[in-house]
Amino acid sequence: MASIHRLSDLLVNQIAAGEVVERPASVLKEVLENAVDAGSRAIEVQLEQGGVRRIRVTDDGCGIAREELALALERHATSKIASLDDLERVGTMGFRGEALAAIAAVTRTTITSRAEGAGHAWRIDGDTGELSPAALNQGTVIDVADLYYNTPARRKFLKSEATEYAHCDEMFRRIALAHPEIGLQLSHNGRVSHRLPPSEPIRRVGALMGDDFLEHAREVRADGGILALAGFASMPAYSRSSRDAQYFFVNGRYVRDKLLTHAVRQAYTDILHGSRHPAYVLFLQLDPAGVDVNVHPAKIEVRFRDARAVHQFVFHAVSRALAESGATRSADTES
Ligand code: ADP
Ligand code: MG
């Protein structure tokens, strides 16, 4: 066996990229979440070749100061938490400070950014670390090109352009559902596929799930003090043969969680046949201290401090909404 030695930063980041950068859609998730965390009001996404050739995200958020551009690309460097206390009540999507480092290690990444109050923008080349002046309004442009160009073994696991694009589209929808207050645009190979103005939550749901869904959905609205649930859940007539239209968000974060899925499913026990699946968009809010989002780098899994109470609350809230008599809630297209 060879002697023990330290791995280079690049290799460490390339190894870590295995967890963070599974495919173009996971890059898109990280850069979109960064744009959201930066307080952006408008975000534009441009994809080429399913995101493999290029993912470019332009935002109008707070920007990154020249002195911090290099740090943004460094592993374990973040502006979002400073202590364990912060971690326990984290309100931002990011906090691990590792996404950009991992992305830059397996792509050709450049960041162009103009911070609030700066005279002009600066661009950093992720490969060389070189800084150069650039022209840009306030905000940030992250350009991520040629995914896995330097890790051919990973490249082999990428699927067709259409499949990778479909995953990116799905990721975009999740972020767009969670942030109706942000204007969002997505284009693929130069063609615009979503153009979403800032809007009321119900309109954003209609734009992404279809007005047909809203016409066949009940509004869910329950406030239990420490827990609150809001959103829409389909009536049985609108059920699906797959789970493709199920969106659950916890404190604005899309999650896939057995406990939550089960609680919703249980509310449908008496009204939906086992082979059919409900469609829903549900937003659970709770004290950040009551949920651990630091389970996996992708943060799609969560752990609840009081899982039983959460299950009960979600089950009852959805059951009550489905049992309510009267007209179903429909998208109001006036106003
Ligand atoms: P994290 O989001 O966990 O902090 P990242 O690697 O995703 O880690 O980003 C590192 C840092 O770079 C962030 O903490 C933030 O300060 C900065 N940053 C990244 N993207 C943007 C952006 N679009 N606008 C402003 N700052 C950004
Ligand atoms: Mg991040």
Give the model confidence (pLDDT) of 157-205 as tens digits. Answer: 999 999 999 999 999 999 999 999 999 999 999 999 999 999 999 999 9
**C-alpha 218 to ligand 2 mean position (Å):** 34
Given pLDDT bands bounded at 50, 70 and 90, which one contains residue 324? confident
**C-alpha 35 to ligand 2 mean position (Å):** 8
Q: Three-class SS of residue 209?
A: helix
Please give the share of the chain, as a percent, with pLDDT higher than 70: 97
d(C-alpha 330, C-alpha 167), whole Å = 29
Q: Three-class SS of residue 186?
A: strand
Q: Each residue of 154-168: pLDDT tens digit?
A: 999 999 999 999 999
**C-alpha 38 to ligand 1 mean position (Å):** 8
**C-alpha 191 to ligand 2 mean position (Å):** 27
Q: Three-class SS of residue 258?
A: helix
The yes-or-no verdict on residue 328 having pLDDT over 60 is: no
Given pLDDT bands bounded at 50, 70 and 90, which one contains residue 325? low
Residue 151 has a CB neighbour count (10 Å cut-off) of 16
Which residue, judged by its Cα, is nearest atom 19 of ligand 1?
A: 34
Q: Each residue of 271-283: pLDDT tens digit?
A: 998 899 999 999 9
Tell me if the pTM is above 0.90. yes
Per-residue pLDDT at 263? 98
Alpha-helical regions (H) of 93-235:
99-105, 152-155, 161-178, 201-209, 211-215
Tokens 């990973």 sit at which residue?
Answer: 154
Given pLDDT bands bounded at 50, 70 and 90, which one contains residue 297? confident
**C-alpha 97 to ligand 2 mean position (Å):** 6
Cα dihedral 151, 79, 178, 335, rounded to 10, equals -130
Q: Is the ipTM of this complex over 0.85?
A: yes
- Average pLDDT in the chain: 94
Which residue, judged by its Cα, is nearest atom 17 of ligand 1?
A: 72
How far CA 290 is from CA of 91, 248, 295, 298, 309, in Å, comes to: 12, 17, 14, 19, 11
Q: Each residue of 203-234: pLDDT tens digit?
A: 999 999 999 999 999 999 999 999 999 999 99
* Token pair for 6: 């330290």
- Tell me whether strands 217-223 and 54-59 are parallel, antiparallel or unpaired: unpaired
Binding-site residues, ligand 1, Cβ < 6 A: 30, 34-35, 38, 59, 61-64, 72, 78-80, 94-100, 140
User: Which atom in ligand 1 lies closest to the alpha carbon of residue 103?
Assistant: 6
User: Which atom in ligand 1 lies closest to the alpha carbon of residue 97?
Assistant: 8
Which residue, judged by its Cα, is nearest atom 7 of ligand 1?
A: 99
